[in-house]
Structure 1
Amino acid sequence: MATTKTNTAPIAPGACIGILGGGQLGRMTAIAAVEMGYRCLILEPQEGCPASHVADHIAGAYEDEAVLARFAEACDVVTLEFENVPVDALKFLEERVPVRPGSHALKIAQDRILEKQFLNDAGIGTAPWAEITDEQSLKDAIDRIGIPSVLKTARFGYDGKGQVMLKPGSDPSKAWEDLGRVRCILEGFVDFDCEVSVITARSANGTVKAFPVVMNEHRDHILYKTHAPADLPTSTAKAAEDIADKAIEALDLTGLLAVEMFACRDGSVLVNEVAPRPHNSGHWSIDACMTSQFQQLVRAVCGLPLGSTEILRPAEMTNLLGNEIDDWAAFLAEPNAQLHLYGKAEAKPGRKMGHVTRLK
């Protein structure tokens, strides 16, 4: 699906792309940008972050306006690689340089309640949900939604952090206590057949183009494998792509939007969550697609023509967590495998240290 709006002057190669965040997503975005002739500047508090190995780096706080002003002065356009940048930082930057995606999309993506409400208002289905602010609202939500369900913090949860599954016999009050008695969301259990995702891009000139639907496997709430393309009925795959395109248009977002969804047993597709950035489930595209998700992000934020999202070969991407990267030599010996390591200094259990993509 592709639509086009009023053209915007492109930002040509040679310009500087600012990236908020210095993790592996920023690293792979910078690599793609440099290959296309751009310079990159990373703003990330941590010295020696993965992206700093491949691009210039300012080690400063996102809340420091002097640092932000220096960053904006050096950049022709700014994008981000993760959601936990303060919205006020983007608002400050937006007054000085194009920021894509902007503060509006980030504000919604940072808050599960705002996110669910926005999606529902746009006519996009999700699991049943309710906002939790105290014990009475939790009790009322359970009465309405039922158990099993999932209690999640409204903000700052990822890879299974900040959430508790409520099962028959669970103590909801203790679950909320364990999450810090902060504002939460209760989400109803979804009877799904598989978890899928779509990454779609929207250029500064309004063109929208989605990557094919992929199927995801998780272990302990962390993405383990992605299969591209997903083995789905054509109608289900089209529904998922249409949902992703509808969401990025509704957000008026320039850049990438990753939409994680449940393909349900009744044939419906429901959105779990969205992320306005490159996504772990799109890493396969580096080796198996005409255009990688990272190159597509560069194209989108710079107002260039979006690349083809054609799959060249089916692929399976596997995350390498913690000490699994110790097997790097074995991965390199596989004839159909491509190894990507992120340059992180310390391997910790559950930490994403790299990935391997196997072409089929």
Structure 2
Amino acid sequence: MADSSGPRLIFEFEGFKYEIYDTQVLNRDYDTLLLAWRHPIGGSGGRRSRVILKPVQVSSDSERSERVWEEVQLASHLEHPGIAKVYGFASHGNTAYVVMEHLRGCYLLTAMDFALLVERRLSPVFAAYVAAEVAGALGYAHQRISREGHPMHIVHRAVGPMRIRLGFDGRVKLANFGAAYSELRDRLKTPPGLLRGDPAYCAPEVLRAVMESTGSRADPLIGGAIDGRADVFSLGLVLLEMLLAEYPLDPTDTPVEGAPAGFSFPVRAERTTQLSLDVLAYRLLRFHPSEAERRLEFAPGPLRSIVRRALQPDPRERFSAAEMREELLVYLGTVEPPVLADEVAAELKAIFEAAARVKRLTANPIERTALTPDEDEG
């Protein structure tokens, strides 16, 4: 992987020169992400721009290659200010790269980790603002219509703190639809018994569907059995985590029942998790929003109500993403002074300034470049 102090990988692909200058994320639980400059070459003109490259080894895995293409194809249907753009793909040797928009800032997980490091909590209005922006992006994606005029039934499947990008200017973007379900023509089917997306933020109906999947019903999302309300549950968990300042299913000060002897979750996950998959599945399947309400006594009443509805075990009792956004905006409209992007940016900046004063070895974020000054645009 690239290191800002070492030699840079430079290659050309379809009218652009790519110069990889650092590794943004290198962690077994998440996609590897690289920072690169993208230079137009030939007669195309224009300045270089900073992009994120997601590498995928494709030399002996045709499915991975097809999934890269599918991710790029799906992205062509998603044009929304709250969704990180995918510009296409590039290739060098046996590696394909998904080329994605870079937003100067950090991932939500980094902001939460840094806040914890400097003994701060994200404010309720910060959490509500971020959740409202993500809900808006999800609402848009869930309602997309294909160019042939058919509903695409997009489900992100991996909404979590490492797929939410916070800009230092107050913008919020939902990133990485690489694990998304959609009804794109000729899309790859999910094999039976495989849990795609992020298990730590998975809706209970997704877990049950994967457990029940068979060879004759190879994809649990076929036929509308699961819809965008699964993403609402995931976002509800993220909102709860922002408010609690810890992952809700693994609290530090409250004993949580582990999986009992004999409980087995007969599914394999595409992603690793800190908790064992058996324990995680057991806790998710038993989780009830009353637990969240009990632990949110300090939070504003409207946010407690929003979390409760978003985390209903029965998806029919949850919000749609658009409804969740509206409720969050209603709450934000009651706050004085009004919550604007500038206020959110100022809170994020204060957290970063405090974290920067902590020794680097103590601040060891998953986002390795979080405290590294950006290279000049040039």
* TM-score, normalised by the number of residues in structure 2: 0.25
Relative contact order (alpha carbons < 8 A, sep ≥ 6): 1 or 2 greater?
Answer: 2
Comparing both structures, which one devotes a greater share of its residues to helix?
Answer: 2
Comparing both structures, which one devotes a greater share of its residues to strand?
Answer: 1
